[in-house]
Amino acid sequence: MNKMEQIAQQHNRYRLYIVGTLYLCVCFVTLGFVAGMWGAPLMTVSAFTMLVAGGVWFESHRRRSSIKKVSRSVSVVSDTQDEMISDIQQMRKYVDVTNTAPMAKSSKAKLSSTKVRTEVSNASDSKDSRNKASTSNKPVERKVIVDTPSHYSEAVTEELIHTAIERSSVEVYLQPVVALPQRRIVMMEVFARLRAGNGQTLSANQYMDIAKSRNLQIRLDNLLLKQGLAVIKKDVRRSINRSYMLNIEENTLRDASFMADLLGFLKSNTRLSSRLVFEIKQSSLVSMEKNSLQVLKALAKLGCVISMDQVENPHIDRDFMREIGVGYIKVSGDRLKDFSATDEGISIMKRIKANLAADNVAIIADKIEDEKTLCELLDLEIDYGQGYLFGKPDRESVYDRSRKTA
């Protein structure tokens, strides 16, 4: 309590004493007058009334004083709290600045051996090149050292993940799925890559383990779904009739808030839902919780299709696939080659394919990287193929021309 507050409290006490004394004097004079005029009974009534009135006034004054005192205390505490919050914010800014600088330096030093030349070096090289070009007609060749994102440390990768989430931005990559044997593009699989600067990106294989360990996978999956939907909406406006395959994890299916928003969005955008193919690993599907399976069934009712990825066990429950709306199964090209090696294997695969076709399920041969692998699979009459032979995962703009002519 400061000196001014002490003086104010002392002043209030003196004022209370003076008012109380004056009140008592008035009471005594009044009682004497009443006693002389009307006698003792009326004097007693008057004394009781004055006593009650004085008590009520004193109590109201005390309460007002208490309220003012509490208000002053709250105000002091609030001001102190505001000052503390301001101090904490200033300290955080100071810590962020002091910590970011050495971290940036250490990260820069750690990556300097793999980074592209600095702008100063580039400018110097460019100047030298121009000087040489002016004295010689021969073209100047310059070697550029390009870093590989796989060299990024966990700390840098985690920072790239957080940046993508905070800015709601990832680099969307597409890879075609083609009809065999014509190789006509019928579907695009959507991948999410993180921007890493210098035109470089990080694929899911490079960041997913860190995202899972930091509990960031769900947010990245949600972000990829949103970006994928944006690509599909753009294609609908361009009258491009094509499906899109997006990977989805069970953790995302458990995200009740996001899935409720997604289902609501697809209900009001049926043209988009019919183009969505959600891809889930076979191992995840067979062990999936009941609630997650219900979400898949709801997606299937809206027109979405489920693709069973990384199929290793050929003994698939057909009733289960029909129930959750499976329309595609993905099998690696190497595994399918085992069937094509013998006539018996070819017969078995054709029988499996016929059973799947009866349930409106098609096989996608995955990871077809060369012509030799494709030739070995032609006898199996597989419906669709995917792999580097038909197109690597690349930016959306790369496939603009093929979309227009497909």
188, 235, 247 from 232: Cα distances, Å: 10, 5, 15
| Residues 86 and 225 reside in one and the same domain | no
| Residues 282 and 214 reside in one and the same domain | yes
**Cβ(116)–Cβ(145) under 8 Å?**
yes
Residue 114 forms part of a structural domain: no
CB-based burial label for 97 (10 Å; 0-12, 13-18, 19+) = exposed
Residue 273 forms part of a structural domain: yes
* Best CA proximity match to 377, nearest among 320, 337, 348: 337
Element (H, E) at 66: helix 40-111
| Residues 167 and 253 reside in one and the same domain | yes
Residue 154 forms part of a structural domain: no
**Cβ(183)–Cβ(217) under 8 Å?**
no
pLDDT of amino acid 230: 82
| Residues 103 and 171 reside in one and the same domain | no
Structure tokens given for 139: 């073209």
The single-letter code of the amino acid at 291 is: N
Identify the bridge partners of residue 386 per DSSP, sorted by sequence position: 177
| Residues 167 and 88 reside in one and the same domain | no
| Residues 55 and 175 reside in one and the same domain | no
Give the count of domains, the chain.
2
CATH number at residue 247: 3.20.20.450
Which of the 8 DSSP states describes residue 406?
-
Give a three-class secondary structure readout of 69-107.
Answer: HHHHHHHHHHHHHHHHHHHHHHHHHHHHHHHHHHHHHHH
pLDDT of amino acid 151: 61
**Degrees (nearest 5) of the Cα angle 262, 265, 266?**
85
Residue 212 forms part of a structural domain: yes
pLDDT of amino acid 302: 92
Structure tokens given for 1: 């309590």
d(CA 29, CA 47): 11
Who's near 28: CB < 8 A, 6+ residues apart? none
- Boundaries of domain holding 241: 160-405
Domain boundary among 74, 107, 140: 107
| Residues 102 and 218 reside in one and the same domain | no
pTM for the model:
0.60
Residue 121 forms part of a structural domain: no
Residue 123 forms part of a structural domain: no
d(CA 351, CA 364): 16
Domain boundary among 107, 126, 151: 107
**Degrees (nearest 5) of the Cα angle 343, 345, 347?**
70
| Residues 178 and 275 reside in one and the same domain | yes
Q: How many residues in the chain?
A: 406
Query: If DSSP codes are grouped into helix, strand and coil, which group holds residue 369?
Result: coil
Residue 394 forms part of a structural domain: yes
| Residues 205 and 272 reside in one and the same domain | yes
| Residues 233 and 357 reside in one and the same domain | yes
| Residues 39 and 172 reside in one and the same domain | no
Task: Give the chain's end-to-end CA distance (angstroms, integer).
Answer: 82
Residue 146 forms part of a structural domain: no
Q: If the chain, 406 residues long, is cut into consecutive pieces of 10 residues, what is the mean pLDDT of each piece?
A: 56 71 78 72 74 74 64 50 48 45 43 36 41 42 38 79 80 91 92 77 81 83 80 80 87 86 86 89 91 92 93 86 93 90 89 92 95 91 94 82 47
Q: What is the pLDDT of residues 326-376, one digit of tens each?
A: 999 999 999 998 888 888 989 999 999 999 999 999 999 999 999 999 998
Domain boundary among 84, 107, 130: 107
Q: What is the pLDDT of residues 99-137, one digit of tens each?
A: 444 444 444 444 333 333 333 334 334 434 444 444 444
pLDDT of amino acid 69: 61
| Residues 168 and 63 reside in one and the same domain | no
